[in-house]
Amino acid sequence: MPKLGEGQENRADTLVKIDAAGLNFADEIAIAGKYQDRIKPPFVPGNELAGTVVEAIPGSRFSPGDKVACQVRSGAFAQYCGVASDRLMAIGDLPASVAAALPVSYTTAHVALFEKGNLKKGDTVLIHAAAGGLGIAATQLAKAAGARIVATAGDEDKRRIAKENGADHVIDYRQSDWSERVRALAPDGVDIVMDPVGGETSEQSLRLLAWEGRLLVCGFAGGTVQALKANYMLVKSASVHGVYWSFDRSPEAIRTIQQKLVNQCARGEIRPLIRDVYQMDELVSAMESLRSRGTVGKVVIAM
């Protein structure tokens, strides 16, 4: 059992009994020791959780019985986690499996689209891997803001899912001419590209940007970090933004964003797609499915 004061760099003031944890590509990378924020072994993986407060020491923003969710550096794949209360968000009546999908994917999508991408109503947004957890989050948020969405996804089921979650047009990224199909839908280019894939996808996406377009680099699920040509940015006055957020850098801004997401979810404006729920003893199978791109929407681990 974690002791308060011994987690999150000894700032944990709230003990949470975990009901559900979200699974992300970052978990696999962290376990392999390749995540940009490296954690010294041994550690309990998992960086996204939802549950119930069971203990709080003076100074905590929460009380026993409160329903909460949060992003943590590690420790979500466990029964309990000690957390600094300034990282927790109240989730009200949201189911834990739904709330566990908000802290990472939806916060990242919001930071990308609105803080970095400066998304406005009427913008055309190209969203890659649109049937994944981050892709669905970005599609729902962009749609709620009035954007026109061109999405890429793989098989027929994933393309259908992307469409059902708000994409106006969906293209099979496995087709060699996918970028030409995007160009046909947006002859003047797209205003924003949401790219969690990397590799050659990033370079082709850069070519598809409109004047003053924004390429949002959200990850490298394709396994390759692509070197991008600066002349493409210059001739279109375009920009490339790395998307990475941290409570340590901007705690108030992140808390505001996350509470907004909870409110949007409660109103039905956004809703994580939870198709696969694994038990804790199935964690390895869940990670293998995520690695093989066999998942749709958000993968949740039930405790």
Joined together, the tokens standing for residue 124 give: 């055309």
The span from the CA of 185 to the CA of 235, in Å, is: 22
pLDDT surpassing 90 at residue 78: yes
In this prediction, residue 8 has a pLDDT band, given cuts at 50, 70 and 90, of: very low
In this prediction, residue 38 has a pLDDT band, given cuts at 50, 70 and 90, of: confident
In a domain, 32, yes or no: yes
In a domain, 8, yes or no: no
The span from the CA of 29 to the CA of 71, in Å, is: 16
Q: Mean pLDDT of all residues in the chain?
A: 92
pLDDT surpassing 80 at residue 182: yes
CATH code of residue 25 = 3.90.180.10
Question: Which residues have a Cβ under 8 Å from the Cβ of 106 and sit 6 or more positions away?
Answer: 137, 141, 261, 270, 272
Instruction: Centre a 10 Å sphere on the Cβ of residue 72 and count the other Cβ atoms it contains.
Output: 24
At which residue do the structure tokens 């420790």 appear?
A: 75
Instruction: Centre a 10 Å sphere on the Cβ of residue 36 and count the other Cβ atoms it contains.
Output: 8
Residues 111, 81 share a domain: no
Residues 231, 128 share a domain: yes
In a domain, 212, yes or no: yes
Give how many domains the chain has, as a whole number: 2
Residues 236, 156 share a domain: yes
* Residues forming beta bridges with residue 71, ordered by sequence position: 48
Q: Which domain holds residue 181?
A: 105-242
In a domain, 128, yes or no: yes
User: Environment class of residue 256 by beta-carbon count within 10 Å: exposed (0-12), middle (13-18) or buried (19+)?
Assistant: exposed
In a domain, 44, yes or no: yes
Residues 163, 65 share a domain: no
**Mean pLDDT throughout 166-193?**
97
At which residue do the structure tokens 């210059």 appear?
A: 234
User: In the chain, pLDDT over 90 holds for what percent of residues?
Assistant: 76
Residues 50, 82 share a domain: yes
Residues 128, 78 share a domain: no
Could you report the per-residue pLDDT of 215-226, keeping only the tens digit for each?
999 988 776 787
Residues 149, 59 share a domain: no
The pLDDT of residue 225 is 80
The pLDDT of residue 234 is 95
What interhelical angle do 156-164 and 133-144 show, nearest 10?
Answer: 30
User: In the chain, pLDDT over 70 holds for what percent of residues?
Assistant: 97
* Residues forming beta bridges with residue 90, ordered by sequence position: 68
CATH code of residue 153 = 3.40.50.720
- Model pTM? 0.90
Contact 195, 218 (CB under 8 A): yes
Side chain identity, residue 74: S
Could you report the per-residue pLDDT of 226-283, keeping only the tens digit for each?
788 899 899 999 999 999 999 889 999 999 999 999 999 999 999 999 988 999 999 9
Could you report the per-residue pLDDT of 195-219, keeping only the tens digit for each?
999 989 999 999 999 999 999 999 8
In a domain, 205, yes or no: yes
Instruction: Centre a 10 Å sphere on the Cβ of residue 273 and count the other Cβ atoms it contains.
Output: 19
Could you report the per-residue pLDDT of 101-126, keeping only the tens digit for each?
999 999 999 999 999 999 999 999 99
In this prediction, residue 10 has a pLDDT band, given cuts at 50, 70 and 90, of: low
3-state secondary structure of 236: helix
